[in-house]
Every structure is written in structure tokens, then in C-alpha cells.
Amino acid sequence: MPEAEAVLLPALQEVHWTIHRAFSEYQRIGEDRRHLAAEIGELIAQFTAELVAAGWSEDAARNADVHQLAAVPCDERHPLGDGGVSAPAPRGVDRARGDRADQGLLLAGADGGS
């Protein structure tokens, strides 16, 4: 019997450490994922705040299609024009008329109240 134990013990130890390393890696990856999720949440909040500061409503900013916005040249993304993006119009913009009542205030950095 001691011969069988001598053969099995190293194999069991190898299995034990393989499982230990795999579990440790699983925990590390889970922690990395949590950190990444927190960073993404912060970036989304900053992006939404920037859209709101540019004249978008909070609802429109939260529902903006980032892929569509990224596909439009930067100078065409201005909130005073459609830019070909089918996102909801920013506050105060009448796309049908193509104007904005508080345009001067928005360009000056303040929202003209909507």
C-alpha cells in the first residue's frame, strides 16, 4: 500500500495546486472586471454630463447612441444641428425649423432655460 500512496500523493498535490491556481486566477479576473465596470460607469456619467452641458436633455443624453455619434464627424455633432444622427434633439432645438431660441446663450456657455 505505501507504494500506491507514493504514486498517488504527487498526483493529488499537483491537482490540488492546479485547482488553487485556477481559483486564484478566477478571483483576480473577477476583481479586474469589477474595477473595469466602475471605470465604465464613471466614463458614462462624464459623457452624459458633457452632452447635457452641450444642450442635450438628460434623457436624450442617457439614450444617445454612442456608435452613431462616433460615426459622425466632430463638426457635424454640434447640438445645434442634426449631423445625421438620429438621436433625440437637444433641449430647445426645433429640428423641423432648424433653429434654437436660446442659441446665443448656449454658445456663451449657459443654457437658455428649457
pLDDT digits (tens, 9 = 90+) for 8-22: 999 999 999 999 999
Rounded Cα–Cα distance for residues 77 and 113 (Å)? 21
Distance CA 83, CA 113 (A): 23
> Which residue range(s) make up the domain with 99?
2-107
Distance between CA 20 and CA 76 in Å, rounded? 54
In a domain, 114, yes or no: no
In a domain, 113, yes or no: no
Between CA 86 and CA 63 the distance in angstroms is 11
Q: pTM for the complete prediction?
A: 0.52
User: Is there a domain that residue 16 lies in?
Assistant: yes
Number of domains forming the structure of the chain: 1
In a domain, 94, yes or no: yes
Q: Tell which residue, 74, 103, 79, has the closest CA to residue 89.
A: 79
pLDDT for 32 beyond 80 = yes
Between 106 and 31, where is the model more confident?
Answer: 31
